Amino acid sequence: MKRFVEGEDRKQAVLLPEYLEDYVSDDNPVRVVDVFVDELDLHDLGFDGTAPAMTGRPSYHPSVLLKIYVYGYLNRIQSSRRLERETQRNVELMWLTGRLSPDFKTTADFRRNNGKAIRNVCSQFIVLCRNLDLFSKSIVAIDGSKFKAVNNRDRNFTSGKVQARLQQIDESIARYLSAMETADRTQSDVTEAKTSRISDKISKLKQQMQDLKIMEQRLRDSPDGQVSLTDPDARSMATSGRGTGMVGYNVQTAVDDTHHLIVAHEVTNVGNDRSQLSNMAAQARAATGITELTVVADRGYFKSEEILQCHEVGITAFVPKPLTSGKVADGYFGKQDFIYVAKDDEYICPAQQRLNWRFTNIEHGMTLHCYSSSACTTCDIRKQCTSGKQARRIKRWEHEAVVEAMQQRLDQKPDMMRIRRQTVEHPFGTLKFWMGAAHFLMKTREHVSTEMSLHVLAYNLRRVMAILGTRSMMQKMRA
Ligand code: SF4
């Protein structure tokens, strides 16, 4: 005979625990949030309202509101309205706040007005992780990922989008005008109604056209040629899928390779990662305190100047070079087929000829030495090397040796790219899963940075709880 697990009778009288304390077990993560926030010096971190006002209605202490947010982000409840509801029905939150239930506007204002202080709390937790010796001794992986902003794609404008829309409107107007002409030729009551409908549509399209002309002017005034109407800082950016894009932010993170903790992060609205390497590496070094730091990033971060900057401050970079040579794409020998001989300052080409230094010039602020050979004119494999009548030229940046040394390191340690993938893709996957489809809830880069800091703090808290256990973590935080 089958039996089922039976629930209790709703009418059955029960003796519930008398204390809220009894509802929350000793190893409940909410206790970690409580201890963590209680151990912070909120005044030093920059929170408003740490001292009560002498007059007026008593306000909530910032620690209550901060606890609500840290708990919320830890449990995938980021909206202030949902948090208000949770404070009224969630026993853990009742325990955490002492049954206080601030209204959603109070919590939302707290997050909006204490952005810098909240970001400092996130940094403070990284300092705690460092003191607990949770970071590896050397490797940090850097990566960026695009996160959606509160800005519909239709409310983001670039000059390309405006031109395409203007062309569409032109075509629509022409279509409607021809439909009107046809209607004029066949006079009747029905066609009269149709004509007036069409002329309405045409006047709406003309209005749209005028709006787009105004937008064209705004785009000309915008420094990066984009305008977003809902979140002015959000930018349209391409994503990894071909032909796909989103209006959002590019979030940079530096992740430690031992426990996959996020040691540094930054919200940018630049669509590519090319200028982020040295900045993120420096932030990671400052956060972890590792003097001999190794950073590993994907091809998107390759920029010679950035690699040089890392080298100059003693950070070892591993970034593969993108394979985007125009010569190789056209079927000619690539630069990698030419071997540089440092002692003679010359290149040896695939035909074993020497390419000597000819002249130096400056391109895009980079000093480039140019090498070529006089043997090109009589070379048997010339067709595989150059299309022009002139000799094949090889350009060498004055600091090329730094990039070559990095390539050698990569050849010796091909495992580094696997380490990068395993390290940095885990946090982004987790964060996006927690954030759901909408990603950010706030607008402007400053507020989005605050939101990201709360996400990063929640992610790091959860990681450390999993590594140390909640009881041990609380003991260490109190110590
Ligand atoms: S064309 Fe010139 S550079 Fe190219 S392989 Fe021949 S000799 Fe060497």
DSSP annotation string for 424-452: HHHHHHHHHHHHTTT---S-SHHHHHHHH
Best of 327, 335, 379, 386 to mutate for ligand 1, by most ligand atoms within 8 A of CB?
379
pLDDT of residue 1: 62
* Contact indicator for 145, 181 with CB cutoff of 8 Å: no
pLDDT tens, 310-357? 999 999 999 998 877 777 778 888 888 899 999 999 999 999 999 999
Q: Which atom of ligand 1 is nearest to the CA of 385?
A: 4
The pLDDT-based confidence of 190 (bands split at 50, 70, 90) is: low
pLDDT tens, 10-56? 888 877 777 889 899 999 999 999 999 999 999 999 998 888 888 88
Tell me whether strands 339-341 and 346-348 are parallel, antiparallel or unpaired.
Answer: antiparallel
Instruction: Output the CA 353–ligand 1 centroid distance in Å.
Output: 7
Strand runs labelled E in 322-431: 339-341, 346-348, 354-363, 366-372, 394-397
* Contact indicator for 63, 82 with CB cutoff of 8 Å: no
pLDDT of residue 200: 87
Report how far residue 304's alpha carbon sits from residue 441's, in angstroms, rounded to the nearest whole number.
36
Query: Measured between alpha carbons, how far is residue 275 from residues 135, 307, 398, 403 in Å?
Result: 25, 10, 20, 16
Nearest alpha carbon to residue 273 among 226, 240, 313: 240
Q: Which atom of ligand 1 is nearest to the CA of 350?
A: 5
The pLDDT-based confidence of 131 (bands split at 50, 70, 90) is: very high
Instruction: Output the CA 410–ligand 1 centroid distance in Å.
Output: 28
Instruction: Output the CA 390–ligand 1 centroid distance in Å.
Output: 11
Task: Assign a CATH topology to domain 137-151+239-443.
Answer: Transposase Inhibitor Protein From Tn5; Chain A, domain 1 (3.90.350)
pLDDT of residue 338: 92
SS3 12: coil
Q: Whose CA is nearest to atom 2 of ligand 1?
A: 376
The pTM of the full predicted model, rounded to 2 decimals, is 0.88
pLDDT tens, 400-445? 999 999 999 999 998 999 999 989 888 998 998 888 777 899 999 9
The pLDDT-based confidence of 242 (bands split at 50, 70, 90) is: low
* Contact indicator for 270, 250 with CB cutoff of 8 Å: yes
Report how far residue 421's alpha carbon sits from residue 386's, in angstroms, rounded to the nearest whole number.
38
> What's the mean pLDDT when you consider all of the chain?
90
Instruction: Output the CA 328–ligand 1 centroid distance in Å.
Output: 15
Nearest alpha carbon to residue 297 among 275, 314, 313: 275
Q: Which atom of ligand 1 is nearest to the CA of 394?
A: 3
Q: Which atom of ligand 1 is nearest to the CA of 379?
A: 6
Instruction: Output the CA 372–ligand 1 centroid distance in Å.
Output: 9
- With a CB cutoff of 8 Å and minimum separation 6, the contacts of 474 are 31, 32, 35
Q: Whose CA is nearest to atom 7 of ligand 1?
A: 376
Instruction: Output the CA 375–ligand 1 centroid distance in Å.
Output: 7
SS3 154: helix
Copy the structure tokens of residue 421. 């993938």
DSSP annotation string for 25-91: -TT-HHHHHHHHHHTS-HHHHT-TTSS--SSSSPPPPHHHHHHHHHHHHHTT---HHHHHHHHHH-H
Best of 392, 393, 394, 395 to mutate for ligand 1, by most ligand atoms within 8 A of CB?
392
The pLDDT of residue 72 is above 80: yes
- From 91-105, 181-195, 289-303, the region with the lowest mean pLDDT: 181-195
The pLDDT-based confidence of 387 (bands split at 50, 70, 90) is: confident
SS3 177: helix
Instruction: Output the CA 354–ligand 1 centroid distance in Å.
Output: 9
Q: Whose CA is nearest to atom 5 of ligand 1?
A: 351
**Any residues with Cβ below 6 Å from ligand 1, and which?**
349-351, 353, 373, 375-376, 379, 381-382, 385-386, 391-392
Instruction: Output the CA 403–ligand 1 centroid distance in Å.
Output: 24
Phi, psi of 52 (to 5 degrees): -70, 145
pLDDT of residue 80: 95
Report how far residue 435's alpha carbon sits from residue 438's, in angstroms, rounded to the nearest whole number.
7
The mean pLDDT value for 164-191 works out to 81
> For a pLDDT cut of 70, what percent of the chain falls above it?
97
The mean pLDDT value for 211-227 works out to 91
pLDDT tens, 99-122? 999 999 999 999 999 999 999 999
pLDDT of residue 187: 65
pLDDT of residue 193: 73
Instruction: Output the CA 382–ligand 1 centroid distance in Å.
Output: 6
pLDDT tens, 272-311? 999 999 999 999 999 998 888 999 999 999 999 999 999 9
